Structure 1
């Protein structure tokens, strides 16, 4: 019984001596970050193109009648907000 308690005590002593580890980037982190930057650029460009398209369609529907373009503009705006704030959202979720 005393050998078990001694082992548990040694384990806790060893664990108490471990310092806070210093985080370091994983292998190929620069390639992953480059891919994330490309994806962010693509998401922003697709949002800009969709807003331009929806604006043109809005003008066309104003002239010819219709009501689909306000939904397209709202969808593009909401998608842009979510795409650009994804990093902030993930930092908030993961830092809890």
Structure 2
């Protein structure tokens, strides 16, 4: 029994498999690329908005909420970067 299992595993280990992208994956990767660009643009806009709001709060007083906006944009940028690296690793 062990010999048969070992022979099956040896045969399966010798089989050469060529990876093929599933049908429709080009559209999915294009959609992911657009989402990535949108996330990067939203992060830059968030940082610019947070900086402007920080200057406004500094000049006119009031509650300081802008560091939260900037921190959120930076943390979102980290997640976008990590997900981009994961998608590049999966697609290659």
TM-score for the superposition, normalised by structure 1: 0.73
Gap runs ≥5 in structure 2: none
Partner deviation per Cα, 1:11-33 (whole Å, 9 max, x = no partner)? 65355323141211111111111
CA drift of 1:90 comes to 6.4
Match of 2:39 in 1: 43
Match of 1:13 in 2: 7
Partner deviation per Cα, 1:41-61 (whole Å, 9 max, x = no partner)? 110111111111111101100
TM-score for the superposition, normalised by structure 2: 0.76
Runs of 4+ in 1 over 3 A off after TM superposition: 11-15, 89-92
CA drift of 1:89 comes to 4.8
Three-state SS of the structure 1 residue aligned to 2:20 is coil
**Equivalent residue pairs, number:** 86
Bigger Rg, structure 1 or 2? 1
Gap runs ≥5 in structure 1: none
Q: CA RMSD in A?
A: 2.4
